[in-house]
Amino acid sequence: MKSIASAPAKIILFGEHFIVYGGKAILCSINKRITVESELTKTGQIEIESSLGKLKISKSDTYKNTDSVLRPIVYIAQRMFEKFHSESGIKITIKAEFPSGVGLGSSSACCVAAAGSISGLFGNHTKEEILKIAIDAERTIFENTSGADCTACVYGGILEYSKDGHIRKLEFLPKFDLVVANSGITHSTSKVVSMVKQFKDERQETFSSLCTQEADLIEDALACLQRNDLTKLGKLMTQNQEFLEKIGVSNDTLRSMISLAKDASYGAKLTGAGDGGCIIALADKTNLEKTQSALAKKYECFSAKIDTRGLEQGSA
């Protein structure tokens, strides 16, 4: 039997970086997915095939020795083998509909889909159990993950979260399209987070004032999302981008992408850590095509909607 699970990509709509210093952020899952298929084998090995590379190790080799982005997947397989005292090997195949390393949450989606798929080989697990396994797995490579990305992947929809662990799924579902454009520049989240820390240490007053302004902006954004006021929401995105410019996480490529998108859409900003990665532009059916063609002239881009499916599991 093959156990199959899929989980969505995520996007940070508002609040990246400021969240590290106590603010809130708003994120949503989108309709681009990672699918993981797994089946038990008699090889005594853990075999993984994905666009991020291939891995074949003995199941008794600890995940800690796996020097690869695939370490969380090895962790999940070993955790399940241990829990269920299994003698089997396992073959795992990962397929993604979106690129990795550009702030779209490929690592979390991979962990959630792998936790869903691999746990499915050993019986039923609740979504809460799968979320816990996925967050523990992601911690094997990102020790300080807030868990918000994995939560969005499991439940879908749109959520607000803060670093102290507060995660709230919004009960309403705004209607909009996003155009996601990829700068093609991969970034290191931890490097960009350190740059912002340096900015904060050197310019404490400016940074603290920006944190206050961002907190107000997030409250406005939550109200706009609730009444689906895309005109105002777009303006808030553009304003959020200005704050991100001030703390130094934008660059020329992102600026030129945002300026391509700005006139066609309701508003645009970088998403995630910045200094590369992706931008998002807010649209609906009236301006989606225009926005996408403005960006597609120079950049890889796709349109996305909020995903409501979250984690899905099945078998074949």
Chain residues in the site for ligand PMV (CB under 6 A): 12, 16-17, 19-20, 103, 105, 189, 193, 272-273, 277
In sign, the C-alpha dihedral spanning 270, 195, 102, 95 is negative
Residue 109 Cβ vs ligand PMV, minimum distance, rounded to whole Å: 11
Residues paired with residue 303 on neighbouring β-strands, in sequence order: 179
Residue 1 Cβ vs ligand PMV, minimum distance, rounded to whole Å: 34
Contact between 144 and 260 (Cβ < 8 Å)? no
Q: Cβ closer to ligand PMV: 72 or 272?
A: 272
The two tokens of residue 231 are 């005109």
From CA 134, how far away is CA 75, in angstroms rounded? Answer: 10
Q: Cβ closer to ligand PMV: 57 or 221?
A: 221
Q: Cβ closer to ligand PMV: 103 or 116?
A: 103
Burial 253-286 (b: 16+ CB within 10 A, else e): bbeebbebbbebbbbbbbbbbbbbbbbbbbbeee
DSSP letters spanning 70-108: THHHHHHHHHHHHHTT---EEEEEEEESS-SSSSS-HHH
Q: Cβ closer to ligand PMV: 38 or 250?
A: 250
Residue 278 Cβ vs ligand PMV, minimum distance, rounded to whole Å: 9
Residue 253 Cβ vs ligand PMV, minimum distance, rounded to whole Å: 15
Burial of 229 (0-12, 13-18, 19+ CB in 10 A): middle
Determine which helix (DSSP H) or strand (DSSP E) holds 194, and give its type and residue range: helix 189-202
Residue 292 Cβ vs ligand PMV, minimum distance, rounded to whole Å: 22
Contact between 137 and 28 (Cβ < 8 Å)? no
Q: Cβ closer to ligand PMV: 20 or 215?
A: 20
Q: Which residues are catalytic?
A: 149
